[in-house]
C-alpha cells in the first residue's frame, strides 16, 4: 500500500479515509488468501516488539500469530519485566529497541507516552490500546461491519457505554468512513469534547452524522449495529461499584435491541461481562457477531503490519 511504510498507527485520525479503506480491502484479501491456504511471507525476517502494561488476550495473541503467519516474529514484552518498570525512560527505551526491532506495538495507559515512544523510535509504533484510543480494534470492527452489511457508508452504529477509548476510536473511524454514529454515555462519562469536535468534522466531510447523547434509547433508533464495552475499563477496577450504578440504564438487552432495526447486529470488543453491559441472551444470541470481530483482529492487523513494515 502506497504511503504507509514506516508510519506510526497511534490514532485513526492520523490516516485519511482512503488509507483506511485500502487497509480494510487489503485485510479482506489477506483473510481470503489465508482461508484458501495461501499466505505470502511479507514480513520474513522482521520482528515486532509488543509492550504490555495492561492485560490482553486478543491483542497479544492476534499480533503474535499475525507476525508468525507473515513469516516474522513477535516478542511479548511485559512492562513489569522491562527496565521501563524500574525507571528507564521511554525515550531511551525507544532508541534501544529501534536498534533491534522493525516495529513496536504498545498497550499502556497514557496516549502521551505512546506519542513519546513514537517520536523517539525510528521504527513504526502501533497503539494497541490506551485510555484514550483503541484504533486496532476499530480497524477490525470496520472490516467486520463491511463483511456483514456489505458497505460502511450510511450504516448506523450506536455505541452504548463509557465515553472512553472504544467510543473515541469508533466515533473517529465510523465518521471518517461515512457511518452514522450515535454515542450514548451517562452524563459523567461522556466522550472527550476535543475528539467529538474532530469526529464531527470527519462526519461532515464524509456526508455522515454524529450524535452524542445520554439516552441509550434515543441512540439506537434505526441502528444497524449496537456496540458496547465494559463499564469499568482496565485501571478502573476500584470504581466498579460506583459505575454499576451510573451505567444501570446503559445495558444492552433484548428490549434495547428491539428499538433498533430488525436486522440489527450486536458488537463488543470483548472481554464482556454478561449481566452488566450486555445480557447473556444478546451476547450469545443470533444477532451477535462478537467472535467474528475478535477473529478479524488477526486479519486487520496483518494488513496493518504488512503495510507499515514490509519492504
Ligand atoms: N478487545 C481487546 O483488545 O481485547 P484484549 O484486551 O484481550 O486484547
Ligand atoms: N475499554 C476497555 C477495552 C478493552 C479492550 C478497556 O480499556 O479496558
Are 210 and 199 within 8 A, CB to CB? yes
CATH topology of domain 12-133+297-309: Rossmann fold (3.40.50)
Which pLDDT tens digit goes with each residue over 241-260?
999 999 999 999 999 999 99
- From the list 248, 252, 256, 254, the residue with the least C-alpha distance to 267 is 252
Ligand 2 pocket member 65 (CB < 6 A)? no
Q: Select from 60, 108, 109, 166 the residue to mutate for testing ligand 2; criterion: most ligand atoms less than 8 Å from CB.
A: 166
Instruction: Locate the DSSP E strands across 177-242.
Output: 180-184, 210-213, 225-228
Q: Which CATH number fits domain 137-293: 3.40.50.2300, 3.40.50.1370, 3.40.50.970, 2.60.40.1180?
A: 3.40.50.1370
Question: Coil, strand, or helix at residue 74?
Answer: strand
Ligand 2 pocket member 229 (CB < 6 A)? yes
Which pLDDT tens digit goes with each residue over 133-180?
999 999 999 999 999 999 999 999 999 999 999 999 999 999 999 999
Which pLDDT tens digit goes with each residue over 105-133?
999 999 999 999 999 999 999 999 999 99
Cα separation of 115 and 113, whole Å? Answer: 5
202 is known to lie in a ligand binding site:
no
Is residue 137 among the annotated active site residues? yes
Q: What residue spans in the chain does CATH classification 3.40.50.1370 cover? A: 12-133+297-309, 137-293
Are 300 and 27 within 8 A, CB to CB? yes
Which pLDDT tens digit goes with each residue over 2-50?
899 999 999 999 999 999 999 999 999 999 999 999 999 999 999 999 9
Cα separation of 105 and 148, whole Å? Answer: 28
| 62 CA closest ligand 1 atom index | 8
**107 CA to middle of ligand 2, Å?**
11
Supply the pTM of this predicted model. 0.98
Amino acid at each position: 500500500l502506497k504511503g504507509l511504510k514506516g508510519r506510526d498507527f497511534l490514532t485513526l485520525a492520523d490516516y485519511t479515509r482512503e488509507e483506511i479503506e485500502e487497509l480494510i480491502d487489503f485485510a479482506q484479501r489477506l483473510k481470503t488468501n489465508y482461508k484458501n491456504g495461501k499466505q505470502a511471507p511479507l514480513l520474513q525476517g522482521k520482528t515486532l516488539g509488543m509492550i504490555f502494561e495492561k492485560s490482553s488476550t486478543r491483542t497479544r495473541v492476534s499480533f503474535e500469530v499475525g507476525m508468525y503467519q507473515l513469516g516474522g516474529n513477535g516478542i511479548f514484552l511485559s512492562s513489569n519485566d522491562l527496565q521501563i518498570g524500574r525507571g528507564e525512560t521511554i525515550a531511551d527505551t525507544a532508541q534501544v529497541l529501534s536498534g533491534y526491532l522493525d516495529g513496536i506495538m504498545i498497550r499502556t495507559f497514557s496516549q502521551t507516552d505512546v506519542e513519546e515512544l513514537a517520536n523517539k523510535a525510528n521504527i513504526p509504533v502501533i497503539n494497541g490500546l490506551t485510555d484514550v484510543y483503541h484504533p486496532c480494534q476499530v480497524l477490525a470492527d470496520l472490516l467486520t461491519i463491511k463483511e456483514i452489511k456489505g458497505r460502511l457508508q450510511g450504516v448506523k452504529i450506536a455505541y452504548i457505554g463509557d465515553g472512553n477509548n472504544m467510543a473515541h476510536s469508533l466515533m473517529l473511524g465510523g465518521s471518517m468512513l461515512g457511518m452514522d454514529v450515535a454515542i450514548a454515555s451517562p452524563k459523567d462519562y461522556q466522550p472527550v469534547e476535543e475528539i467529538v469536535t474532530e469526529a464531527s468534522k470527519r462526519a461532515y466531510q464524509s456526508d455522515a452524522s454524529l450524535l452524542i447523547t445520554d439516552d441509550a434509547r434515543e441512540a439506537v433508533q434505526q441502528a444497524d449495529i449496537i456496540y458496547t464495552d465494559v463499564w469499568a475499563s482496565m485501571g478502573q477496577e476500584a470504581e466498579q461499584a460506583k459505575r454499576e450504578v451510573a451505567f444501570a440504564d446503559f445495558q444492552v438487552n433484548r428490549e434495547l435491541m428491539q428499538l433498533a432495526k430488525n436486522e440489527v447486529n450486536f458488537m463488543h470488543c470483548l472481554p464482556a461481562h454478561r449481566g452488566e453491559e450486555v445480557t447473556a441472551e444478546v451476547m450469545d444470541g443470533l444477532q451477535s457477531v462478537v467472535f467474528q470481530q475478535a477473529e478479524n483482529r488477526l486479519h486487520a492487523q496483518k494488513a496493518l503490519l504488512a503495510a507499515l513494515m514490509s519492504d
